[in-house]
Chains A and B, each alone.
Chain A
């Protein structure tokens, strides 16, 4: 069960690569909240959760230890190679974010793949990422602002990573793209059970 099949490995890295590419287009989102962040820089933390999405999607779809870490590492490596601004810092972020999400699912022994667990994973990832950014990117920031940044990070981790990621997996399930994967089997069981009840 915990052995990574070929498809599990390839799906994990494919999720990471897809986000690594899509992230290049996401810079536009920061300009959307530009007025907000110009006035109050820590508000940028409200978008932080988006960067942990590959990890939570991979965990929810593949449902095996290591999937989240692998997906997030690929996304981070790709971002670093394609022109990210933080260089090797991006890979450290990838490890911490992917690792954070793994911890969330590990707490429930990789048996529960529900919305609250996804949100927990997002929150742990956000907390770890905050520690890293606090000490590597913003050591001179005052604690007041740093703690406000943390609050934004945590909310974003729960909503933009956990909840949005969970919703994205539901949407992907509807397309049939998950049929051959563990996340698709639940859907199949529910659907067939419903069909039996209806008949």
Chain B
């Protein structure tokens, strides 16, 4: 093992005036366990990136660049939000990305993934969707992804700050157990839960200046402010959710208990009158719709509103940023801005999803002060939260799902019994298998390339349609074969409706704008022919695609056809994450509608929401790039693929179907022409 060394590194990221790292010296000997702490904005994450060797000279000014890893995955990196790191459609496939990038042989990939999932205490089946498991589970999947490359050092960026106390404790135990014998560097503003496992604490100040560095007890003696006091217990849970003017209510419950769903259904139910109810989503950036901080607080034309806006800005400590772009603010500043922007609209009810998650003590206190201010203004405030400090400040508490554990604080659950999720007592299936299907159909056994071939050859064949009779005949095989693919009548109707609708629209266009006299009988028959032709063009492909799995398509394109590996992996990741992207779009558009930015169909709303989704996607891509590069993606031009892309006898049948669809429309035309009469 080698040590990690930063030797006077200077780093100014593009877009910042001041260097984020200003000649930092830091040496971490092999096997040491170090905690980097300090307030938000002190540069903990940047130091971790530097230690990981992932500062990109194309993205800023870099001097005294630290050496990169000597092999893929030598230094494992975990991010604050594990959802950003997900690139695989299943838990096991996600953990396999690193070994695939390192071009390991297939049996070894399977062996390493099985061991890594076990070592990271992932206790769901390997076939689960990693974007659909709890945050704690997701972070352990990310841990497994790093462990699969047998890292010498583990670098963790606030790995538990998005999690409730129990999930955080589980992740900590998994991290500490899996890191035995490795170098471990953790960035976290919570010292206490890690304390007894550390060799050293480094306290960072602004610009990543080292304020203190030494053994834990020594540093804590010198800087007593690092020790946190336990919050008071807070109100006991009530069976009813109370939404009352001047009352701060918290909704608690483990992740996955339905807190966010509850808030969203409240918003849908009671938010019909514009401005009467606002919901600040977990990511405050999803709330913004103006290009300046002041613009978020509403129309400046009304003097009373402008005075109120100014006083809100002052109290939130954002007055000096009034002209800045909301998206350029730090995480804590964005939270405060979203809250005062909501207050400026004077809603009767203010809902907030995890308003303090990921914030350090000082920033959390500032958010709490604003929530108390909202309450004192007579607003009904409802916050979904697992933050014990926020719970302690609430006037009422409603708990979702099961009885709450007696003391949900970080310290008290840190050393509980071995980590197991309820109901997961059986050993999970950790094999890498194809992505499971909802209701298996015969066509599912086809290689994705065969499914593509069917659609493409059918489209080519459809050009032979030249009369309406031939067109109707041409559709026959598609109608007969469709039941082998389609999973349900309803699903089929849903999927084929746009195709048929556009065929009808094309018939109309042709009847109206063709060479024949508009809307004459002849023009309509020409329209019918066009409708049949376009259906024969589109429908077989659309139907075949319902059996297509994008992960298997990636294996076929990358593993079998040897298309460039990195773009293939990137595209598959984007398609796998499409559902997640859709959820962000839903949050962004519904927030805009609630904030009175027009209805769901207004061009202004759609344009603004698209821009907001792009900001979200670009920032997500940045995090994903870090996670992937920490797993050897930068050099993965020649990688291996965990699952083979096989052609079987079924593909011979599929190929025959493709050939049939290619020639059938032409045959149907001939057949029709040869009929007597």
A6 touches B578 (CB 8 A): no
- What's the Cα separation between A20 and B506 when bound, in Å? 23
- Picked from A10, A85, A89, the residue with its CB within 8 Å of the CB of B459 is A89
Question: Is residue B410 within 8 Å, beta carbon to beta carbon, of the partner chain?
Answer: no
- Interface size class on chain B is 35 or more
- Picked from B456, B542, B575, B628, the residue with its CB within 8 Å of the CB of A10 is B628
- What's the Cα separation between A184 and B60 when bound, in Å? 10
Q: With A29-B606, A41-B512, A85-B498 given, is the CB distance from A17 to B628 under 8 Å?
A: no
- What's the Cα separation between A126 and B260 when bound, in Å? 43
Residues from chain B with a CB closer than 8 A to the CB of A180 are 13-14, 56, 59-60, 622
Question: Is residue B266 within 8 Å, beta carbon to beta carbon, of the partner chain?
Answer: no
Those of B637-676 within 8 Å (CB) of chain A: none
Residues from chain B with a CB closer than 8 A to the CB of A82 are 578
Those of A176-199 within 8 Å (CB) of chain B: 176-182, 184-185, 187-188, 192, 195
- Picked from A13, A28, A195, the residue with its CB within 8 Å of the CB of B570 is A13
- What's the Cα separation between A139 and B462 when bound, in Å? 13
- Picked from B60, B574, B611, B624, the residue with its CB within 8 Å of the CB of A171 is B611
- What's the Cα separation between A140 and B420 when bound, in Å? 66
Residues from chain A with a CB closer than 8 A to the CB of B510 are 138, 140-141
Question: Is residue B625 within 8 Å, beta carbon to beta carbon, of the partner chain?
Answer: yes
Question: Is residue B455 within 8 Å, beta carbon to beta carbon, of the partner chain?
Answer: yes
B327 touches A177 (CB 8 A): yes
Chain A residue with Cβ nearest B623? A10
Q: With A6-B634, A176-B327 given, is the CB distance from A32 to B601 under 8 Å?
A: yes
Question: Is residue B278 within 8 Å, beta carbon to beta carbon, of the partner chain?
Answer: no
- Picked from B498, B538, B625, the residue with its CB within 8 Å of the CB of A7 is B625
- Picked from A141, A171, A188, the residue with its CB within 8 Å of the CB of B14 is A188
- Picked from A15, A61, A88, A176, the residue with its CB within 8 Å of the CB of B328 is A176
- What's the Cα separation between A171 and B325 when bound, in Å? 10
B495 touches A185 (CB 8 A): no
Identify which of B337-345, B377-385, B397-405, B581-589 touches chain A.
Answer: B581-589
Residues from chain B with a CB closer than 8 A to the CB of A10 are 570, 573-574, 621-622, 624-625, 628
Chain A residue with Cβ nearest B588? A22
- What's the Cα separation between A56 and B616 when bound, in Å? 19
- What's the Cα separation between A178 and B506 when bound, in Å? 41
- Picked from A70, A87, A141, A184, the residue with its CB within 8 Å of the CB of B455 is A87
Residues from chain B with a CB closer than 8 A to the CB of A15 are 614, 617-618
- What's the Cα separation between A142 and B456 when bound, in Å? 27
Interface residue count on the A side (C-beta < 8 Å): 70
Question: Is residue A57 within 8 Å, beta carbon to beta carbon, of the partner chain?
Answer: yes
Question: Is residue A83 within 8 Å, beta carbon to beta carbon, of the partner chain?
Answer: yes
Question: Is residue A168 within 8 Å, beta carbon to beta carbon, of the partner chain?
Answer: yes
A 18-61 binary contact with B (CB < 8 Å = 1; else 0): 11111001101101100000000110000000000000010001
Question: Is residue B571 within 8 Å, beta carbon to beta carbon, of the partner chain?
Answer: yes
Q: With A4-B566, A172-B615 given, is the CB distance from A188 to B15 under 8 Å?
A: yes
Chain B residue with Cβ nearest A31? B601
Q: With A10-B628, A25-B600 given, is the CB distance from A172 to B578 under 8 Å?
A: no
Q: With A28-B606, A171-B611, A177-B327 given, is the CB distance from A7 to B600 under 8 Å?
A: no
Residues from chain A with a CB closer than 8 A to the CB of B571 are 13, 70, 73-74, 77
Residues from chain A with a CB closer than 8 A to the CB of B501 are 85
B566 touches A9 (CB 8 A): yes
Question: Is residue A115 within 8 Å, beta carbon to beta carbon, of the partner chain?
Answer: no
- What's the Cα separation between A87 and B624 when bound, in Å? 30
Those of B536-572 within 8 Å (CB) of chain A: 537-542, 545, 548, 550, 566-567, 570-571
Chain B residue with Cβ nearest A188? B14
Residues from chain A with a CB closer than 8 A to the CB of B550 are 81
Chain A residue with Cβ nearest B454? A88
Nearest CB on A from B605, distance (A):
9
- What's the Cα separation between A82 and B542 when bound, in Å? 10
Nearest CB on B from A49, distance (A):
13
B614 touches A172 (CB 8 A): yes
- Picked from B15, B513, B615, the residue with its CB within 8 Å of the CB of A141 is B513
Residues from chain A with a CB closer than 8 A to the CB of B530 are 139-140
- What's the Cα separation between A165 and B620 when bound, in Å? 21
A22 touches B574 (CB 8 A): no
Q: With A87-B541, A142-B513 given, is the CB distance from A11 to B621 under 8 Å?
A: yes
- Picked from B15, B539, B577, B603, the residue with its CB within 8 Å of the CB of A187 is B15
Question: Is residue A112 within 8 Å, beta carbon to beta carbon, of the partner chain?
Answer: no
A87 touches B621 (CB 8 A): no
Residues from chain B with a CB closer than 8 A to the CB of A172 are 611, 614-615, 618
Chain A residue with Cβ nearest B515? A142
Question: Is residue B223 within 8 Å, beta carbon to beta carbon, of the partner chain?
Answer: no
Question: Is residue B472 within 8 Å, beta carbon to beta carbon, of the partner chain?
Answer: no
Chain A residue with Cβ nearest B456? A88
10 A-B pairs with least C-beta separation: A179-B15, A175-B327, A87-B538, A28-B601, A13-B574, A85-B502, A87-B541, A85-B498, A7-B625, A14-B621
A residues with CB within 8 A of B: 4-7, 9-22, 25-26, 28-29, 31-32, 41-42, 57, 61, 66, 70, 73-74, 77-78, 80-89, 136-142, 145, 168, 171-172, 174-182, 184-185, 187-188, 192, 195
15 further contact pairs, Cβ within 8 A, besides A137-B506, A187-B15: A5-B634, A9-B570, A11-B622, A13-B571, A14-B618, A15-B614, A18-B610, A25-B600, A80-B541, A81-B545, A81-B578, A168-B610, A172-B615, A172-B618, A180-B59
